[in-house]
Amino acid sequence: MYLFGASGHAKVIIEILEKLGVKVIGLFDDNPHIKQLLDYPVYGPYDPANPIADTLIISIGNNTYRKKISELYSFRYGMAIHPSAMISSRAIIGNGTVIMGNAIINSGAQLGNHVIINTAASVDHDCRIGDFVHISPNATLCGGVSVGEGTIIGAAAILIPGVNVGKWATVGAGSVVIRDVPDNATVVGNPGKIIKIDGKSF
C-alpha cells in the first residue's frame, strides 16, 4: 500500500495499516523536502510516467485536495479500517475510505469514495455519505441522515434523524443540526444556525 500525502493524517492511516498487517511501501508528497514519515520513505511528488501497481490511499485530510488528486491521477484505491471500528456487514464502503478507531457504521449505511470517518464517530442506520466527506471525531449521525459530497461534519456535532446536509457544507464542532442544510452552507450552534452560504454571511 502507498499513501499520497505525508501529513498528520497519514500518520494515523499508517498506524491503522500496521495494525492490520498491511505493508506500507512508502508515501508521495508534493513537498520535496519531506523525506520520511514514521520511518517510511517519502518519494516526493508522484510521477504518472512511472505508475504504481499497488493500491494507494489519499492520506490528506482536506476534502478539496483529496478530490483534486483523485481527478489528476488514476490509482487503484485501497481502504483503511481500524480493527476497533464496528462496521455492519450490511454497510457499503467506497474505495479510498478511511475509518478510524472506535468508529461505528451501522446497518444500511452507505459511504462514498475517499470518505474519512474519524475517531469514535458514529454513523447510524441508512445514512448516505457522499464522496470526499469528513466526519470528525465523536460526531453523531442519527438514522437516515444524508451528507453531500465534500462536506465536513465537525467534532462532536450531532445530526438528528433524517436531516439532509448538502454538498461542500461545513457543520461546526459541537453543532446540533435539526433542519436540512443547503449546499455550500456553514452551520454552527445548538440548535444549528446557518451563518454563511456561498461565502455570504448572514
Residues annotated catalytic, as ranges: 125
Question: Could you give the CA distance from residue 91 to residue 93 in angstroms, rounded to a whole number?
Answer: 7
Integer CA distances (angstroms), 79 to 15, 37, 69, 182, 187, in order? 13, 19, 16, 29, 30
Phi, psi (rounded to 5 degrees) for 141: -105, 110
Residue with cell 443540526: 177
Question: Could you give the CA distance from residue 134 to residue 156 in angstroms, rounded to a whole number?
Answer: 13
Integer CA distances (angstroms), 198 to 46, 144, 202, in order? 33, 26, 11
Residue with cell 502507498: 2
**At CA 66, angle to CA 2 and CA 117, rounded to 5?**
85
Question: Could you give the CA distance from residue 198 to residue 74 in angstroms, rounded to a whole number?
Answer: 30
